Amino acid sequence: MNIEVIKADITKIHADVIVNAANSSLLGGGGVDGAIHRAGGKQILEECIQIRDRQGKCKTGEAVVTSAGNLPAKYVIHTVGPVWNGGVEKMSKLLSNCYKNSLQLAESLGIKTIAFPNISTGVYRFPKELAGKIAVEAVQNFQAENIKKIIFVCLDDENEMIYKKLLD
């Protein structure tokens, strides 16, 4: 399995799956969530609403999948990161679950490439260095069968530097 780091807008990435840092309502928001819904179009929101109607809100650390609307990806996996509250152990476990559950769901779709944003490190204020360490550990520990490439897509220089150092 190949792990890459790039600095880019995730909505432009040609991967089978792009992951969204959503909130538990699944109804969109700001940051990467807003960008994905804007670029992907209303199809994504309609599917999110159907999921909500079927199974209720998405809990922190869990993941659900929709199609990708107008995006170059095939699917969007929406996961809900923890809102940082300083409780390192619980927060770390929840963030790790986001990566694990997204990868598991991606495996079940039989896809080969998946792109992650830096979940929880924006509005949810998770410390970037710790979030990077958790993300890298979670993907390195994942036993992939179909997935061949994982891309960490960073929007800012700080995250790009953190991930490049961690994967060096």
CB of 109 to ligand AR6, least distance (A): 21
Stretch that binds ligand AR6, among 6-14, 65-73, 133-141, 160-168 (CB under 6 A): 6-14
Per-residue 3-state assignment (H helix, E strand, C coil) for the chain: CEEEEEECCHHHCCCCEEEEEECCCCCCCCHHHHHHHHHHCHHHHHHHHHHHHHHCCCCCCCEEEEECCCCCCCEEEEEECCCCCCCHHHHHHHHHHHHHHHHHHHHHHCCCEEEECCCCCCCCCCCHHHHHHHHHHHHHCCCCCCCCEEEEEECCHHHHHHHHHHHC
| # binding residues, ligand AR6 (CB under 6 A) | 25
Distance (Å, whole) CA 157 – CA 45 = 30
For residue 33, indicate whether it is catalytic.
yes
Catalytic residue among 9, 16, 33, 156: 33
Rule CB under 6 A: say whether 124 interacts with ligand AR6. Answer: yes
Residues 23-82 close enough to bind ligand AR6 by CB under 6 A: 23, 29-33, 35, 81
Among 72, 88, 146, 156, binds ligand AR6 (CB under 6 A): 156
Closest approach of ligand AR6 to the CB of residue 65, in Å: 17
Query: Between residues 58 and 108, which has the closer beta carbon with respect to ligand AR6?
Result: 58
> Where does this chain bind ligand AR6 (CB under 6 A)?
9-11, 21-23, 29-33, 35, 81, 117-124, 153, 155-156, 159
Q: Catalytic positions, please?
A: 33
